Amino acid sequence: MKPASNGTLPNPKRGRTVREVSIKEVRTAEPVRGAQNLRLPQRFGQLKQGQQAGTLVALRQVDESLRQAVLDEWAARCHNQVVRNPAGYLFGIIQRAISGDFKPWAGKSKGPAPTTAPTTESTPHEVVPPEVAMEHLNRLRELVGKD
């Protein structure tokens, strides 16, 4: 084969064709399982299926008595704070629970009402007569003025 007069080389494989095949990869996740005894927070349903499944697998490593507390804590913190990565935040709480560093505070539910009558120290909303309030204010003014 000789080069053409314009300087280009001929293609010796002119009879061949090239096909482009596009393969579409589809990832599937198993349905969320392992939540038999757990009350999943509404926010949990907003996670991607893979994140839900991964979370439930990770929760199996947490002591069974702490699993619900972990989910409740996560839901309460996400509700009370701005959390940019809820799934990552949940995995962090799970890791602390696995390592024994989990201390719930935001998800604690209020316990049953006390069986004894509350004292005046434990009821901050009790209305005090104006005379008593003025006595306390005057006493505080005396104490502040004695510096």
Complete DSSP assignment for 27-78 = ---PPP-S-TT----GGGGGS-HHHHHHHHHHHTTS-HHHHHHHHHHHHHHH
State the pTM of this model: 0.50
How far is CA 138 from each of CA 61, 131, 132, 143, 147, rounded to the nearest angstrom? Answer: 59, 11, 10, 9, 15
Q: With 70 as the cut, is the pLDDT of residue 21 above it? A: no
| CA–CA dist 119, 91 (Å, integer) | 42
DSSP 116: S
For 94, other C-beta atoms within 10 Å of its C-beta total: 24
Q: What does the pLDDT look like over 45-96, one tens digit per residue?
A: 999 999 999 999 999 999 888 999 999 999 988 888 888 899 999 999 999 9
Q: What does the pLDDT look like over 109-132, one tens digit per residue?
A: 544 433 334 444 444 456 667 787
pLDDT number for residue 116: 38
**Residues 57, 34: contact at Cβ < 8 Å?**
yes
Please indicate whether residue 3 or residue 112 has the higher confidence score (pLDDT). Answer: 3
For the ranges 15-24, 55-64, 99-108, 127-136, the lowest mean pLDDT is seen at: 15-24
